Structure 1
Amino acid sequence: MNTLKIAIQKSGRLNEDSLKILKDCGISVDNGNDQLKASATNFPLEVLFLRNSDIPQYLLDGVVDIAIVGDNILVEKGGNIKIIEKLGFSKCRVSVAVPKAFEFKSLDDLKKLRIATSYPNTTLNYFKQNNVKVDLHQISGSVEIAPNIGLADAIVDIVSSGSTLFKNNLKEVAVIMKSEAVLAVSPFITPEKQVVLDKLRFRIQAVLRARISKYILMNVPNEKIIAVSQILPVLKSPTVVPLNEVGWSSVQSVIDEDQFWDVIDKLKEAGAEGILVCPIEKMVF
């Protein structure tokens, strides 16, 4: 079977989350001694550990077949690289930030001012679309320090919690784009490797569905099963199992995590008792 080559970030949070989703897919990767290349022991997969900013070019050149990368990097450098799956982790945003003392009312306040960023294409496109001309300063590394040392009047950078901005006396004033980790594919992937990718994607989808779902079991009076069933946003229909206690049944189903508390409140009002909530490891369709 053809070995699929995947690029992931060589260090940092995205690296850890990428290896975790592969592990959750049942794929074992031994990256001992911080190797830059490692092979899975139980799946036809070879992992290349690269700098995040270099990954789009590796995809465009066909050096790797797929990659787990932030979609903000693809927007900045990736051209028309195809995204086949949003992975739901390493969420952040690319934002405009200014010193806290800056009286910001609109983007027009930044006209002709110096903007420091490591995302020049994203930044220029954003200000061009808003008809605001700025003086761009492309830098790498700690962009947040630029206003404090007099290099720039404002910055464009990735923001997660906002704590780094706060520590550098900056405030977020505009969000250019929201980003998360995605599975991207090279335009040169072969049909043989596409077969392997389909198998990997099937596993990833099973893991992602499980991450956003909960399995619930509850005791319900038989006369209230229909009412409870109508509340449950189930895949097909809930499982109903009679209990030893006459007139009662166990009702079992799957609910989305983002609907969890709203559904639980309605189930209790409808007569459900002893509600047990369990995590789901995989959901395979």
Structure 2
Amino acid sequence: MTKIRIAIQKSGRLNKDSLEILKNCGVSIDNGKDQLKASARNFPMEVFYLRNGDIPQYLRDGVVDIAIIGENVLIEKGGDIDIAEKLGFSKCRVSLAVPKEVEYNSVQDFQGKRIATSYPNTVKEYFKGKGVEADLHIINGSVEIAPNIGLADGICDIVSSGSTLFKNNLREVEVMLKSEAVLAVSQKISEERKTILSKLQFRIKSVLQARQSKYVLLNAPNDSLESILKLLPGMRSPTVLPLAEEGWSSVHTVINKDKFWEVIDELKLVGAEGILVCPIEKMVL
């Protein structure tokens, strides 16, 4: 039986989030501690647990068919690899930072300076576009310490909350790019495995759509129903059902979580009552 081969990060936050989305897609994986390869019980899939930086080459060589990987890693090491889906989790940015006490005006301040980074290709491309030349020190690991020990004048690294920079007396001065987890696809994937990928993508899209949405139920006086319906989106249109109490209806719809509070406030102003909000597990469009 043909199985699609997926690579995910061996350890770390991306590992946890990757396994979580596969679980939400109904894929049950049998894997033990320190296991580097595992199979799914209920889906034609093999999982390879790999170092994040090695995944682009495995995709390029066709050793794995797909991977869940940070977009920043692909930009640095796999610019020729296709992205099938942006996954919306493990968001971060690749930024330039300098010691807090250093005055900073613009990216031109990095001219001729020493920059410690694990992302040399990304930095070179960014500086090239800005007309800046700098001396890059490639470090695999914690680059934040480099300015403190006199190895560099600044750093380029991934930033999530910024707490690591703060602890090392650094401040973020330039955001070079924003990144999130993506589903990447090998150019050597077979047609048979593309069919399996389509099934997986369908499930992933259903999960991602559900994560971005809330199911809302509310009671509406019929004389305000028209105004309320104008405020409400829906997958096609809101569902309206009569209540036992004459003159009232129950309205059911789906709201994007980013617009949720704005819509709820407006609904209350036009007479909506008894508003219930429920999470959505899956959304099949």
Amino acid at match of 1:278: C
CA offset at residue 34 of structure 1?
2.0
Contact 1:97–1:155, Cα closer than 8 Å, also in 2: yes
Contact 1:2–1:196, Cα closer than 8 Å, also in 2: no
What is the rounded CA distance, in whole Å, between the counterparts of 1:67 and 1:77 in structure 2? 14
Amino acid at match of 1:207: V
Report the counterpart of residue 209 of structure 1 in structure 2: 209
CA offset at residue 195 of structure 1?
0.4
User: How far does the alpha carbon of each residue in 1:61-91 deviate from its partner, in whole angstroms, 9 at most, with x for none?
Assistant: 0000000000000000003111010000000
Number of residue pairs aligned between Structure 1 and Structure 2 = 285
Report the counterpart of residue 25 of structure 2 in structure 1: 25
Q: 2:259 matched to 1:259?
A: yes
- State the 4+ residue runs in structure 1 displaced beyond 2 angstroms: none
User: How far does the alpha carbon of each residue in 1:244-285 deviate from its partner, in whole angstroms, 9 at most, with x for none?
Assistant: 111111100000000001100111111100100000000012
Amino acid at match of 1:263: V
Contact 1:56–1:74, Cα closer than 8 Å, also in 2: yes
Q: 2:250 matched to 1:229?
A: no
What is the rounded CA distance, in whole Å, between the counterparts of 2:123 and 2:68 in structure 1? 23
Report the counterpart of residue 40 of structure 1 in structure 2: 40
Report the counterpart of residue 166 of structure 2 in structure 1: 166
What is the rounded CA distance, in whole Å, between the counterparts of 1:9 and 1:37 in structure 2? 12
Contact 1:113–1:134, Cα closer than 8 Å, also in 2: yes
Secondary structure at 2:33 match in 1: helix
CA offset at residue 178 of structure 1?
0.1
User: Which runs of no fewer than 5 residues in structure 2 stay unpaired?
Assistant: none
Report the counterpart of residue 238 of structure 1 in structure 2: 238
Report the counterpart of residue 180 of structure 1 in structure 2: 180
Contact 1:36–1:48, Cα closer than 8 Å, also in 2: yes
User: How far does the alpha carbon of each residue in 1:167-190 deviate from its partner, in whole angstroms, 9 at most, with x for none?
Assistant: 000000000000000000000011
Report the counterpart of residue 102 of structure 2 in structure 1: 102
Amino acid at match of 1:169: N
What is the rounded CA distance, in whole Å, between the counterparts of 1:122 and 1:243 in structure 2? 59
CA offset at residue 33 of structure 1?
1.8
Contact 1:5–1:48, Cα closer than 8 Å, also in 2: yes
What is the rounded CA distance, in whole Å, between the counterparts of 2:260 and 2:51 in structure 1? 38
TM-score, scaled to structure 2: 0.99
CA offset at residue 149 of structure 1?
0.6
CA offset at residue 97 of structure 1?
0.2
Secondary structure at 1:164 match in 2: helix
Report the counterpart of residue 10 of structure 2 in structure 1: 10
Secondary structure at 1:133 match in 2: coil
Contact 1:221–1:248, Cα closer than 8 Å, also in 2: yes
**Identity percentage of aligned residues:** 68
User: How far does the alpha carbon of each residue in 1:111-131 deviate from its partner, in whole angstroms, 9 at most, with x for none?
Assistant: 111000000000111111100
Report the counterpart of residue 69 of structure 1 in structure 2: 69
TM-score, scaled to structure 1: 0.99
Report the counterpart of residue 91 of structure 2 in structure 1: 91
Report the counterpart of residue 279 of structure 1 in structure 2: 279
